[in-house]
Amino acid sequence: MNPSLLVDSPRSSAAAPVLRTKAELRAAVAAAKREGKTVGLVPTMGYLHEGHLSLIRAARAECGLVVMSLFVNPTQFGPGDDLDRYPRDEERDRRLAAEAGADLVFAPAVEEVYSAGASTAVEVTGALTGVLDGDPERRGPEHFRGVTTVVAKLFNVVDPDVAYFGQKDAQQAVVIRRMARDLDFPVRVEVLATVREPDGLAMSSRNAYLEPADRERATALSRALAAAERGAHADTLAAGLEAARAELAAAAIEPEYLEARDAETLEAVAELGARPVLVAVAARVGAARLIDNVLIQPATSNRPNT
């Protein structure tokens, strides 16, 4: 792995306090709420980068108590996924979380989250989880069932007023918003902009898998999305997607998918209209499977819909 791709932290920095059990966390949150504090939750799988830290800072600006969860959730990994090699460094993550403004880190064991014999899952069905990453030929809807189950558990344990997610995982954010709405969780789901490296690569813990040559090739994903947006506004959405494919091909990247979908319903779209369009891409670059996306805003009133 290449940790230089991620945020560095001085070894002497103080670490955020860590709680391991649901009972400890519930007690801490209850005490904060008795003092009238609002609670912000930043769910993570750790190996923090600037994208995670931007969420913690946003929570710090709005909330009296900021809880960052640190849990590599096994139920969202499928056969052949990278669960065993997913990067982990709890000490470093706790220091970075504290520097960004987290008050507590909830880092439970798997057995604390999923009790023996657990047989209940939370699942958003339909189009939101059956396309893009949820396509059965890709990660499948089981991936999102794992995500929504663990996030529902976190919402129940933390009882946050606001939960913060990143736009890089756009489909995940759409699914979680739907789950929160459908199950009446009293939480505002805040989705913040993707944080990028200076060369445009979307920050991801999995960037640590990239060897130098692949790291350079991976920048084609953000260039492809920029080409899609330019082409869509200058010509047609189809022309934008074609320009994006050309950028990927020039870097010898074959996308797992490159698709245009309604940003809220994830229905396939063929042209810009009155609603934002999500252009999403996934591709394997070297040892890393990377995802990225761009939101293309509706055509302006002085431009005919194309």
Among 49, 52, 143, 233, the active-site one is 52
Both tokens of residue 151? 């996030």
Helix ranges restricted to H, the chain: 22-34, 50-62, 90-100, 110-113, 127-130, 141-158, 170-182, 212-218, 220-234, 237-250
Closest CA to 27 of 160, 158, 186, 153: 158
Q: How far apart are CA 88 and CA 266, in angstroms?
A: 32
Residues contacting 91, CB < 8 A, separation 6+? 15
Q: How far apart are CA 165 and CA 40, in angstroms?
A: 11
In the beta sheet, which residues pair with residue 74? none
Is 52 marked active-site?
yes
Burial profile 142-170: b = 16 or more Cβ within 10 angstroms, e = fewer = bbbbbbbbbbbbbbebbbbbbbbbbbbbb
| 124 burial level (CB within 10 Å; 0-12, 13-18, 19+) | buried
User: Rg of the Cα trace of the chain?
Assistant: 20
Closest CA to 195 of 292, 87, 68, 105: 292
Both tokens of residue 124? 């958003």
Provide the annotated active-site residues: 52
